[in-house]
């Protein structure tokens, strides 16, 4: 039975989205106020954890089109702590569906966060904040009734870049107008746009191919490459990344030469572009598909092509076809299916590449706990992830919490650092959106 083709009409392969995990719930300051219970102590519960933002693969999706209209994803916050020592409820994670083959990167650093391939595969891209501790956690023999509680930890917020690489078994590569779209349309049910001009194909098209003996595979028609594609010329750089995911390449060459190009030059030029983009692409099994063999001069050009391949020492497997008359298609599709049985399974070379990337991103400067700068108006500004998080998790409604925050700043050495920078008694100090006076 013939399977229906999969056509990508509007292919969006890169998009940026904003994700925000839920904040943790605030801890509570509360005391037992029960009749007949003497010495009622602290009874404020902890806040619940904030929801994570999790990307999950859905094999029913083919493109990133949904993200064009919805670029903000927010998980729920954790519930605040309650009296009688009751903890707040943790928030549910927000699951965001992505198509197979989606690479998730941090847009700011470029670091790869996940490579999502298999159906159901998940990756936590933003972690929810932990719940703040209630005053029941701060009780001690020295302070049995503390008026101290933490606010919930803020959840992660990130700009995420999603990149989709077409998941196809076989990729059609070659210059514009060599007949790739026509070939795809006659061997599958896909209906790509076909025209007698260059760059008719602006997006990759997918089609399901079934051979005479019942084997099937997904074939991708890539937009035409040109010389300089690996450096960004033409459409090539946008779609060379899609070829990375294919396991076998069909190199379509116009043997008729009606465009005025030399088939031998075409062969070496395209392979050079593949090699310059990623050396591993030249290691993929590749069949040369000599197309338009029904045209004049094709036989003579093919003879010259074979001779040049022998001279250069290139071991190539050539199949003569005419996509228009459908001659020779069964043989090349059957041979392609044979190669797929022995070609490495997807993902190719992922472990090696992933390891290289992980090592690369270790060379980042160590984050300092705080930094002190001075604004033109004379205000001292304290910044840094750790100190800002301490501020955000401090409940300023209670004097004891404020005093604890002050002790934490002193313990980090901020007082001493301000003094060293030249801060004087009464100077204004700002931390996030909180301003206070420096006291000697």
Question: Does the annotation list 1 as a binding residue?
Answer: no
Question: Does the annotation list 398 as a binding residue?
Answer: no
d(CA 178, CA 263): 10
Question: Does the annotation list 223 as a binding residue?
Answer: yes
Strand, coil or helix: 48:
coil
Q: For residue 189, report the phi and psi dihedrals to the nearest 5 degrees.
A: -90, 5
Question: Does the annotation list 203 as a binding residue?
Answer: yes
Question: Does the annotation list 199 as a binding residue?
Answer: yes
Question: Does the annotation list 362 as a binding residue?
Answer: no
Question: Does the annotation list 301 as a binding residue?
Answer: no
Contacts of 83 (CB under 8 A, 6+ apart): 28, 30, 43, 44, 45
Question: Does the annotation list 9 as a binding residue?
Answer: no
Strand, coil or helix: 230:
helix
Question: Does the annotation list 174 as a binding residue?
Answer: yes
For 75, 129, 133, 134, 407, the CA distances from 27, given in Å and listed in that order, are 19, 13, 5, 4, 20
User: What H or E segment, with its residue span, contains residue 409?
Assistant: helix 399-412
Question: Does the annotation list 104 as a binding residue?
Answer: no
Question: Does the annotation list 293 as a binding residue?
Answer: yes
Question: Does the annotation list 50 as a binding residue?
Answer: no
Question: Does the annotation list 177 as a binding residue?
Answer: yes
Question: Does the annotation list 292 as a binding residue?
Answer: yes
d(CA 261, CA 292): 14
42, with CB counted inside 10 A (0-12, 13-18, 19+), is buried
CA atoms within a 13 Å half-sphere pointing along the CA-CB vector of 48 = 18
415, with CB counted inside 10 A (0-12, 13-18, 19+), is middle
Question: Does the annotation list 7 as a binding residue?
Answer: no
Question: Does the annotation list 185 as a binding residue?
Answer: no
Question: Does the annotation list 178 as a binding residue?
Answer: yes
Cis peptide before 58 (omega within 30 of 0): no
Question: Does the annotation list 329 as a binding residue?
Answer: no
Annotated binding-site positions for Mg(2+): 181, 201
Annotated binding-site positions for GTP: 174-181, 199-203, 221-224, 291-294, 322-324
Annotated binding-site positions: 174-181, 199-203, 221-224, 291-294, 322-324
């Amino acid at each position: 039975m013939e399977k229906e083709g999969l056509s990508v009409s509007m292919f969006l392969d890169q998009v940026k989205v904003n994700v925000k995990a839920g904040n943790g719930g605030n801890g509570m300051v509360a005391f037992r106020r029960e009749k007949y219970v003497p010495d009622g102590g602290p009874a404020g519960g902890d806040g619940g954890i904030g929801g994570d933002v999790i990307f999950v693969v859905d094999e029913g999706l083919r493109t990133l089109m949904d993200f064009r209209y919805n670029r903000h994803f927010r998980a729920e916050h954790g519930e605040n702590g309650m009296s009688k020592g009751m903890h707040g409820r943790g928030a549910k994670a927000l699951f965001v569906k992505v198509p197979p083959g989606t690479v998730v990167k941090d847009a700011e650093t470029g670091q790869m966060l996940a490579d999502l391939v298999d159906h159901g595969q998940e990756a936590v891209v933003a972690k929810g904040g932990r719940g703040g501790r209630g005053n029941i956690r701060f009780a001690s023999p020295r302070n049995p009734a503390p008026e101290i509680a933490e606010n919930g930890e803020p959840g992660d917020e990130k700009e995420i870049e999603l990149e989709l690489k077409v998941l196809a078994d076989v990729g059609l590569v070659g210059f514009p107008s060599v007949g790739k779209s026509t070939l795809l349309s006659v061997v599958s049910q896909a209906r790509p746009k076909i025209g007698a001009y260059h760059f008719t194909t602006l997006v990759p098209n997918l089609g399901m191919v079934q051979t005479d003996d019942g084997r099937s595979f997904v074939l991708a028609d890539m937009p035409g490459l040109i010389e300089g594609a690996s450096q960004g010329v033409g459409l090539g750089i946008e779609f060379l990344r899609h070829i990375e995911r294919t396991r076998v390449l069909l190199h379509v060459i116009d043997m008729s030469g009606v465009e005025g190009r030399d088939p031998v030059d075409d062969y070496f030029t395209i392979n050079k572009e593949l090699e310059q983009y990623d050396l591993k692409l030249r290691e993929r099994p590749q069949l040369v598909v000599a197309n338009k063999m029904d045209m004049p001069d094709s036989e003579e050009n093919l003879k010259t092509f074979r001779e040049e391949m022998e001279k250069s020492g290139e071991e190539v497997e050539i199949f003569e076809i005419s996509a228009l008359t459908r001659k020779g298609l069964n043989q090349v599709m059957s041979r392609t299916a044979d190669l797929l049985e022995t070609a490495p399974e997807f993902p190719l070379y992922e472990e090696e590449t992933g390891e290289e990337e992980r090592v690369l991103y270790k060379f980042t400067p160590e984050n300092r706990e705080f930094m002190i700068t001075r604004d033109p108006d004379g205000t001292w500004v304290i910044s840094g992830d750790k100190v800002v998080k301490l501020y955000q998790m401090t409940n300023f409604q209670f004097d004891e919490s404020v005093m604890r925050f002050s002790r934490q700043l002193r313990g980090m050495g901020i007082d001493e650092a301000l003094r060293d920078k030249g801060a004087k008694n009464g100077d204004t100090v700002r931390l996030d959106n909180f301003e206070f006076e420096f006291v000697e």
